[in-house]
Structure 1
Amino acid sequence: MARSPKPFQNESVSVAFVAEKLQSVVGIEISALNDADPELRLVTESNQHRPGLALAGFLDLFTHHRIQVLGNTECRYLEHLSAEGREAAFSKLLVFNIPCFFLTNGNLLDAPLLDRATEAGVPIYATGLPTMEFQARLGDFLSDQFAIQQTVHGALVDVYGIGLLLTGSPGIGKSEIALDLVERGHRLVADDVVIATAKGDSVLMGAGTDIAQHFMEIRGLGLIDVRAMFGIRAIRFQKRIEVVVHLSPWDKEVEYTRLGMVDSFHDILGVQLPLVKLPITPGKNVTVLCEVIAMNHLLGHYGYNAAEVFAERLTNKIRSKKSGAGPDRGIDYFEHDYE
């Protein structure tokens, strides 16, 4: 298979981007408490920090480069201090280059503290969500933004709920097979360029690019818009990549698997994916084979392996040492049914 492009990941995102996406995509209601410009502050990692010890004066291990989350504990600590003490404790944090603060559980800060943050250029936001829920949702969003990604040349199609990544040399027919699958009721995720994103150690998500989206290039026909032509039911914007189907011209010198459909794996971003090597010959119905690959993967997920079942039957037959003129019929009696 062709060498894959090098992985890449975001080095930073702006606080303005994070705040806007938390509202429009993640669905968290937040409000800005001061006038600091969030475009000027950058988030450089997915981890967050709760600065309780830093507010108390211990700054040796203060991870100031992370988003700072002020929950009930930090806010109650500030409230028990005098007005001068609160300002002094909070000002110690603003000496550092902090991306932003998020206050949870509906907590607020006094106006003098907000003014100090504005002077330092540090945005402050508030949300009514409990701290643990907010951190979980923020952490998931940031993990996605800083996840390792890689572009893969191929077509990604949702077939019976299984994400099939069709790969192969240019002109082998990946787009045509994907189009045929869409016509049969399956859903296109991306064609030609798939952005693979690692989510943890064993999950690989796929999506298209912001430019191509659900356009397809069919050689001899040109560009088509799958969404406009087949409707919203024919597309998905994301799908887990679960099986790689590599298409190649039939080579009589190559021995292809005949008992087990999957005999090897393909590595993308450290995730091992089942690999099916599918030889292409004139007249072969590759679309149906792709459907069978998806259904076979589903059966395997639920513990059924056709090759193992057949091998067990064959072994039992050999062990029985039954001799005869030929193989036994699969049915003992035709019951006068001659249709």
Structure 2
Amino acid sequence: MDNAVNVQSLVEATGLKVFSGGKYLKTKQIYASDISRPGLELTGYFDYYPAERIQVLGMTEISYARKMDQDKRKEVMAKLCADAATPCFIISRYLPVPAELDVAAKSNGIPVLRSKLPTTRLLAKLTDFLESQLAERKSLHGVLVDIYGLGVLITGDSGVGKSETALDLIKRGHRLIADDRVEVYQKDEQTIRGEAPKILRHLLEIRGIGIIDVMNLFGAGAVRAETDISLIVHLEDWGPDKQFDRLGSGEQKFKIFDVEVPQIAVPVKIGRNLAIIIEAAAMNFRAKTMGYDATKLFENNLNNLIKENSNEQ
């Protein structure tokens, strides 16, 4: 079944005010993140009316409706509300709701909502919420941590020390988003967003101790609801037969939906402080995104040294 969100959730998340039809909020489902502004429909053209979308009326639509003949306005509003699949109507800027729309919406069980926001800002807010709620989702095994504002997904085999490393990072002032299971969805063409399932929110499992509530133990500043995943750190048991990138010149990617997320492999060995290593990896990744690459600097220095030695000979 397609993802859906009810109108009640939309109202709570975006600060909308209910004008009428409050009893239908929980039963009305939204399946499409696209939003319609029925300007052409107000002229009487309904051949391609997307009735399944949220319908937003702004200053342009309300001003046009005011100038319409009353009988024509009544006819058009009745057609706007004729399809029970319409989730709701939203009026921006707290503009007055046309009486004909109110009557038609009530007779067809469609909520009418209002917002104080200008239409452009309202559309952006609605779209952000709907795309996050209706996007395809998958679960990844790992721990998601916010390190200096950078979303780092720590992956690896079960028992390799992901949760213990996350606990150490939390003690160092970083924030937990999700432990064990990370729900991810594609926010846009370049961004993957990660969050915790509701049942696991703020919780961390440490072998030998059990479940701990990070927010209760470390405070609200130790947790975060969601974040963009910028880097994946894959923990692997160290072995003499395994090869790991020593210079950082090997670029690895891990594909999540349509987005390739940078990934590095970190060997796990007794005596290595993984929290400090991952913290340094996050800072180094941020430096690279800002144009500073220590690997390239080393390679340039090495090439210059080779040239100098060649000239001396």
The normalised TM-score by structure 2 is: 0.93
Equivalent position to 2:274, from 282, 286, 293? 286
Match of 1:69 in 2: 56
What's the RMSD between the two structures over aligned residues? 2.0
Q: Please state if 1:94 is matched with 2:81.
A: yes
Spell out structure 1 runs of 4+ moving beyond 6 A: none
Instruction: Write the deviation string for residues 57-101 of structure 1: whole angstroms up to 9, x where unpaired.
Output: 111111111111112222222222232221112112222232211
Equivalent position to 1:83, from 51, 63, 70? 70
Q: CA deviation at 1:21?
A: 2.0
Identity within the alignment, % = 36
Spell out the pairing of 1:111-190 with structure 2 (5 A cutoff).
111-190=99-178
Task: Determine helix, strand or coil for the equivalent of 1:242.
Answer: strand
| CA separation of 1:105 and 1:307: change in aligned 2, threshold 3 A | same
Match of 2:20 in 1: 33
Match of 1:204 in 2: 192
Please tell me whether the aligned partners of residues 73 and 100 of structure 2 are also in contact (alpha carbons under 8 angstroms): no
Query: What amino acid maps onto 2:265 in structure 1?
Result: K
Q: Please state if 1:16 is matched with 2:8.
A: yes
The normalised TM-score by structure 1 is: 0.86
What is the rounded CA distance, in whole Å, between the counterparts of 2:208 and 2:21 in structure 1? 57
What is the rounded CA distance, in whole Å, between the counterparts of 1:291 and 1:323 in structure 2? 41
Return the index of the structure with the highest Cα Rg.
1
| CA separation of 1:173 and 1:108: change in aligned 2, threshold 3 A | same
What is the rounded CA distance, in whole Å, between the counterparts of 1:163 and 1:16 in structure 2? 30
Equivalent position to 2:229, from 223, 235, 241? 241
| CA separation of 1:255 and 1:318: change in aligned 2, threshold 3 A | same
Please tell me whether the aligned partners of residues 35 and 118 of structure 1 are also in contact (alpha carbons under 8 angstroms): no
Match of 2:36 in 1: 49
Q: CA deviation at 1:22?
A: 1.6
Task: Determine helix, strand or coil for the equivalent of 2:183.
Answer: strand
Match of 1:295 in 2: 283
Q: CA deviation at 1:10?
A: 5.7
Match of 2:259 in 1: 271
Q: CA deviation at 1:34?
A: 4.5
Please tell me whether the aligned partners of residues 33 and 126 of structure 1 are also in contact (alpha carbons under 8 angstroms): no
| Stretch deviating more after TM superposition (101-110 or 216-225) | 101-110
Please tell me whether the aligned partners of residues 91 and 114 of structure 2 are also in contact (alpha carbons under 8 angstroms): yes
What stretches of structure 1 of length at least 5 have no aligned partner? 1-8, 24-28, 325-339
Query: What amino acid maps onto 2:204 in structure 1?
Result: M
| CA separation of 1:35 and 1:295: change in aligned 2, threshold 3 A | closer
Q: CA deviation at 1:298?
A: 1.7
Please tell me whether the aligned partners of residues 77 and 100 of structure 2 are also in contact (alpha carbons under 8 angstroms): no
Task: Determine helix, strand or coil for the equivalent of 1:189.
Answer: strand
What is the rounded CA distance, in whole Å, between the counterparts of 1:279 and 1:189 in structure 2? 23
Q: Please state if 1:226 is matched with 2:223.
A: no
What is the rounded CA distance, in whole Å, between the counterparts of 1:112 and 1:309 in structure 2? 69
Instruction: Write the deviation string for residues 268-294 of structure 1: whole angstroms up to 9, x where unpaired.
Output: 122211111111112122122111101
Please tell me whether the aligned partners of residues 243 and 274 of structure 1 are also in contact (alpha carbons under 8 angstroms): yes
What is the rounded CA distance, in whole Å, between the counterparts of 1:323 and 1:21 in structure 2? 68
Please tell me whether the aligned partners of residues 105 and 130 of structure 1 are also in contact (alpha carbons under 8 angstroms): yes
What stretches of structure 2 of length at least 5 have no aligned partner? none
Q: Aligned residue pairs: how many?
A: 311
Q: CA deviation at 1:312?
A: 0.8
| CA separation of 1:34 and 1:186: change in aligned 2, threshold 3 A | closer
Q: CA deviation at 1:242?
A: 1.1
Between structures 1 and 2, the one with greater helix share? 2
Q: CA deviation at 1:33?
A: 3.3
| CA separation of 1:267 and 1:114: change in aligned 2, threshold 3 A | same
| Stretch deviating more after TM superposition (91-100 or 312-321) | 91-100
Please tell me whether the aligned partners of residues 156 and 165 of structure 1 are also in contact (alpha carbons under 8 angstroms): yes
Instruction: Write the deviation string for residues 126-155 of structure 1: whole angstroms up to 9, x where unpaired.
Output: 223221221121112112111222211111
Q: Please state if 1:309 is matched with 2:297.
A: yes
Q: CA deviation at 1:31?
A: 3.2
Please tell me whether the aligned partners of residues 55 and 92 of structure 1 are also in contact (alpha carbons under 8 angstroms): no
